[in-house]
Amino acid sequence: MAFSINKVILVGTIGRDPETRFTTSNSSVTSFSVATDDNYKGKDGNWVKQTDWTNIIAWQLSDYLKDNLKKGGKVYVEGKLKIRSYDDKEGNKKYITEVIADSSKIIPLDAKNNSSGPDFSQADNAALNKDDEINNPLPF
């Protein structure tokens, strides 16, 4: 029995406003990019920041994405990695790597855009603070 998992989780910065297209069967497909940063020490001992850009594809979410995601905002995305290829005008094979987003797992992380995020009441906050006191007995 073969076992495999194809799951991607990204938290990053939206690189461009979502763009929506429609298929011939009138299904919407929306795309945008997400930048994620990685820091590492270079050969000279100095820290280097490397930014990777990932293309995101989402089906049937055009209105939600248009209303909730904007260039420069933070976003959480879950999906699966997809690599496709095509031949360019000169006949060279080109590869595209993208994440096909799970429609329920695109979450804006900016407070002003996060209408679907958690909304803790004062009672919930008090309970969270009480749990912190129990689980973390240090006074600071």
Q: 119 or 29: which carries more pLDDT confidence?
A: 29
pLDDT score of 112: 57
Residue of 64, 54, 71, 53 lying closest to 103 (CA atoms) = 64
Beta strands in 15-138 (DSSP E): 19-22, 28-41, 47-59, 74-87, 93-108
Average pLDDT, the chain: 82
Residues 63-108: tens digit of each pLDDT: 888 889 999 999 999 999 999 999 999 999 999 999 999 878 999 9
pLDDT score of 111: 62
Please give the domain boundaries of the chain with CATH numbers for all domains.
Answer: 8-114 (2.40.50.140)
Residues 6-21: tens digit of each pLDDT: 999 999 999 999 999 9
pTM summary value: 0.71
Residue 120 pLDDT level (bands cut at 50, 70, 90): very low
pLDDT score of 82: 96
